[in-house]
Structure 1
C-alpha cells in the first residue's frame, strides 16, 4: 500500500513556494513532513543502488533545506530494508539584528525530532507481508510496528528535559507508513497519555464491511426489544468507551484524496458517523469502528484505522487515475495547487 516512485526530480534548495519556514503554518507543516516521508523512500533507493553515504546520495536533498539532519545512521531498518528515519532539527545561525525581519509575534517553534515512515515498495517482500497483516488486523505481529514503538520510546527518553513535551517529537507516514505512525501515536496516548503531533498521508482504510456494521448499529437505535444484544455488548461498550475517552485529545492530521480507494474509508466513515450522530441519541463510535476486544487485555486490540478524533484534510483535485490519487507528491504542493477542504471530528464522550 503506497508505493511512491523515486523518479521525481527535487530542487535541492527545497520547495520553491517556501522561502522562509513557518512551523506554525499548516501548509508548511504538511509540505515539510511529506518531504521527509519522501526522504525515507529515497533512503531505501539509495541503499539498494549503492548510493547511501556517497556524494551521489539523493535522499539528503529532501531534508537539508529544512535545517534538519539524520539523527541516526543507519536509519530505521527492518530485516532487509530501510522503512523510516528520525530527523533532528539543527537551528540555523541567528541573523544579525539589523537583518532580522520584524515579527508581530514570536514564530512557532520547530519540533526537535520528526520520525517519518515510508509506504510500500512493491519489490520489498516484508512490505507486502505487513500490508496483508494490516488487512487482517494483525499489525501487532509485525516487527516493523514493534520496532517503531521501541525507537520512538527511546527517542522520547532522549528528549526528556527538552521544553515543549508533546511538540518535541512529530510522527509522519504515508500509506503503510501512515499506519505505523498511527499505531505508534495511538499507543503513546493509551499507555502514556502523550499526544504527539501526527501527520498521516493516505493511510489504508479498507471499508467494505463497514456498511454492514453501521447498518447494524443504526438498527439497534430504532429496533425495540434488543435487551439481549445490549446486555451482551455491555462489557465491550464500556471497554471501548474508556479507550475512546483516552484517545479523544489526540487529533492527528489526516490527509486523504477523495478518489483514493485505499483510504476512502476514512471519508465514508466520518461523514457517515456524523450523520448517524445526528439521527441517534447515543454515541455509537466504538461499535461503528468494529473493534475486536478481549475483556482481559490490558490494552484492547484495535483496528489499524481506529481514529476517534481527527482533522480530516480532503483533496478533491482531479486526477488521471485512482492510483495517482494515492501518491504522496500531492501533499508537497502549495495550498493553491490543491482543492482542499478540512473538517475537525472530535469524539463526543
Structure 2
C-alpha cells in the first residue's frame, strides 16, 4: 500500500503548472519537491516498486528534471541523495529558462522505516556531536556537489536538503565556499540547529536576555580556549562565508530547527546595542565543539553561518510531523516571513511572502 504523501498528484505541488523561476515561492516548492523525490526513491527501493508501480519519478519530471545519479549509502545501500539535471527534451524548449538550475543535488532527511532508520539515526547523532563531516555519507554527498560545480559552474548548480539532508548539504556548500570562494545556491528545509528550545518562551525580554547571556558565555569561552591565531583564522573563514547566502526554511514550532530564528535575531539585536563584536565571536563558536575540542575530539560547527535568507513558516500547525515535514513547504496557503541577514551588517531586507 503506497502512502498518500508519496504520490505526487495527491500531495505534491501539482498546482505549480506554470513556473516562474524568478519567483522565490516557486523555487522553494521545486527544491522541496526534488528533495521529496529522494525520499520516495528510497521507499520505492525498500518496497521493490518498479515500472508503473514506482512513485518517485513524478516528483522531478513534473518540473522537467531527469534523474542522472542516485547517491547510495555505502553501508546499508539506502538512497540518501540524488543528482537531477534539467531536461530540454522534457521541457520541449531549446534553452533553459533564466534562473532555472542545470543541476540540483538533493539530500533527504531521516526515513522512519525499519530498513533505513538505524543508519539514519546514527547520522542524526553525528549532527548532535558535530561530527557529520567525518561520515562516508557526507563525503559521497560532497563529492557529488563538487563534481557538478567543477563541471557546470556554481551558478548552474543548486543544493537542496531536508533535516539530516539539510545538514549534509550545508556542510558541502560551506566547504566549497570556504575553500574555493564559490557560492552555490542552496535551499535547506528544517536544517538542524541543536540548542535549547528558547523560541518556545513567550516573553521576548526573557528570550533576548537568555540569548544575550549565551553569546557572552560563548565569546568568553572562545577567548579562553582559543589562541589569538585560531580566533583570527576563524574570523577570516567566517568573513569569506558572509557572501554565501543559503535559503533556510524553518518552522518556529520545530525545536530541531527553530534555533536559527534566535541565532540570527540575536545577532541583529546585539549589533544594534553596540555589542556586535561579542555577537560575531559567539556566532562563530559552539559550546559543544569547544568542549569536544578541549578533550582532543574533532568536531565542527558546520551549522553556524554568518548569512542566510531566513524563511520562517508562520502558519499554524499542531503536530511534529507537520512542523518538521517537507510537505509544509509547498502548501498553497503557507504564510512565510522572509528576512535576509548578514553578520556584521544591518538587516538587509524583510517582509512577508505568500505561498
TM range (shorter): 0.7 to 0.9
Task: Decide whether aligned partners of structure 1 residues 46 and 117 sit closer, same or farther in structure 2, where only a CA change above 3 A counts.
Answer: same
Report 1:146-161 matches (<5 A).
146-159=139-152
Q: SS at 1:261's partner residue?
A: coil
Q: Compute the displacement of 1:324 (Å).
A: 2.0
2:229 is the counterpart of 1:241: no
Comparing 230-239 and 194-203, the one that deviates more:
230-239
CA distance in 2, matches of 1:217, 1:320: 31
Name the residue aligned to 1:98: none
Q: Compute the displacement of 1:17 (Å).
A: 2.7
Q: 1:116 aligns with which of 103, 106, 122?
A: 106
Task: Decide whether aligned partners of structure 1 residues 216 and 235 sit closer, same or farther in structure 2, where only a CA change above 3 A counts.
Answer: farther
Any idea what the Cα deviations from partners look like across 1:138-160, whole Å, max 9, x if unmatched? Answer: 1122111111111222223332x
Where relative contact order (Cα < 8 A, 6+ residues apart) is larger, the structure is 1
Which consecutive unaligned segments of at least 5 residues does structure 1 have?
96-105, 160-164
Q: 1:140 aligns with which of 109, 114, 133?
A: 133
Task: Decide whether aligned partners of structure 1 residues 232 and 179 sit closer, same or farther in structure 2, where only a CA change above 3 A counts.
Answer: closer
Q: 1:251 aligns with which of 245, 248, 254?
A: 245
2:84 is the counterpart of 1:94: no
Name the residue aligned to 1:288: 283
Q: SS at 1:137's partner residue?
A: coil
CA RMSD of aligned residues (A): 3.0
CA distance in 2, matches of 1:13, 1:324: 13
Name the residue aligned to 2:203: none
CA distance in 2, matches of 1:258, 1:213: 16
Any idea what the Cα deviations from partners look like across 1:260-306, whole Å, max 9, x if unmatched? Answer: 111011111111221111123443323234244799xxxx9531311
Name the residue aligned to 1:273: 267
Q: Tell which structure's C-alpha radius of gyration is larger.
A: 1
Task: Decide whether aligned partners of structure 1 residues 111 and 208 sit closer, same or farther in structure 2, where only a CA change above 3 A counts.
Answer: same
CA distance in 2, matches of 1:185, 1:232: 26
Name the residue aligned to 1:50: 48
Any idea what the Cα deviations from partners look like across 1:24-65, whole Å, max 9, x if unmatched? Answer: 11111000010000000000000011114x221100011111
CA distance in 2, matches of 1:33, 1:157: 21
TM-score by structure 1 length?
0.82
Name the residue aligned to 2:350: none
2:164 is the counterpart of 1:166: no
Q: Is the 8 A contact 1:218 1:276 kept in 2?
A: no
Q: Compute the displacement of 1:212 (Å).
A: 7.2
Name the residue aligned to 1:162: none
Q: SS at 2:9's partner residue?
A: coil
Which consecutive unaligned segments of at least 5 residues does structure 2 have?
199-208, 346-355
Q: SS at 1:131's partner residue?
A: helix
Q: SS at 2:138's partner residue?
A: helix
Comparing 17-26 and 303-312, the one that deviates more:
17-26
Q: Compute the displacement of 1:121 (Å).
A: 1.3
Name the residue aligned to 2:65: 68
Q: What is the number of residues matched between the two proteins?
A: 316
Q: Compute the displacement of 1:214 (Å).
A: 4.8
Q: Compute the displacement of 1:132 (Å).
A: 0.2
Q: SS at 2:312's partner residue?
A: strand
2:123 is the counterpart of 1:126: no
Name the residue aligned to 1:82: 79
Name the residue aligned to 2:22: 24
CA distance in 2, matches of 1:181, 1:262: 16
Comparing 307-316 and 266-275, the one that deviates more:
266-275
Q: Is the 8 A contact 1:172 1:178 kept in 2?
A: yes
Task: Decide whether aligned partners of structure 1 residues 322 and 288 sit closer, same or farther in structure 2, where only a CA change above 3 A counts.
Answer: same
Q: Compute the displacement of 1:236 (Å).
A: 3.4
2:194 is the counterpart of 1:194: no
